[in-house]
Amino acid sequence: MATWSCVKQCGACCHLDPQERPELEDYLSPEDFALYMSLVGADGWCIHYDALSRECQIYAKRPRFCRVTPETFEQLYGIEPEELNDFAIDCCRQQIEGVYGERSLESLQFERHIGLDLSQC
Ligand code: SF4
Ligand code: SF4
C-alpha cells in the first residue's frame, strides 16, 4: 500500500493560482480565504515559495491550510483520519500533474516516494 509523505523540493502545492482551485471558498473560512489570496503572487506561486531552493521560506509559520495533518484535513475537508492517507495522495497527484505534468520528473518522484514509504518531511 502506498503511504503518503511529502517529497522535498516538490513544491507543487505552493502553486496557489486560485483559477485552478475554484472550490477554495467552499472549504476555507473567510479569514483563511483572505489569507490565501494575500499569498498569491503575480505568477500564481505563493509569495513565500523560493523557486530556487524549492522550499517554503516561512515553513514553521505556514498557514494551517498548508499543513497536512489529521486535524487540518478534518476541519477543512471533513476527511476522517483513516481517510487522510488516500486523500492526501490524491491531492498531491492532482496538484503535481497540474503544475508539472503527468509524466514529469516530479510526478515520477512522488510515485516512487510513496511506494517506497520514505519519509523526508
Ligand atoms: S504536492 Fe505533495 S509532495 Fe508536493 S510539496 Fe505539496 S505536499 Fe509535498
Ligand atoms: S506558505 Fe509556504 S507551504 Fe504554504 S503555500 Fe506558501 S510557500 Fe507553500
82-121 pLDDT tens trace: 999 999 999 999 999 999 999 999 999 999 999 864 444 4
Phi, psi of 100 (to 5 degrees): -110, -20
pLDDT interval class at 22 (50, 70, 90): confident
Residues with C-beta less than 6 Å from any ligand 2 atom: 14, 16, 39, 46, 48-49, 56, 58, 62-63, 66
Average pLDDT taken over every residue of the chain:
93
What pTM, to 2 d.p., does this model score?
0.91
Give the Å distance between the CA of 7 and the centre of ligand 1.
6
Mean pLDDT for the stretch of residues 36-62: 97
CB 58 within 8 A of CB 66: no
Nearest residue by C-alpha to atom 2 in ligand 1: 92
Residue 38: what residue type? Answer: S
Closest residue (by CA) to atom 8 of ligand 2? 14
Q: What residues does each domain of the chain span?
A: 12-116
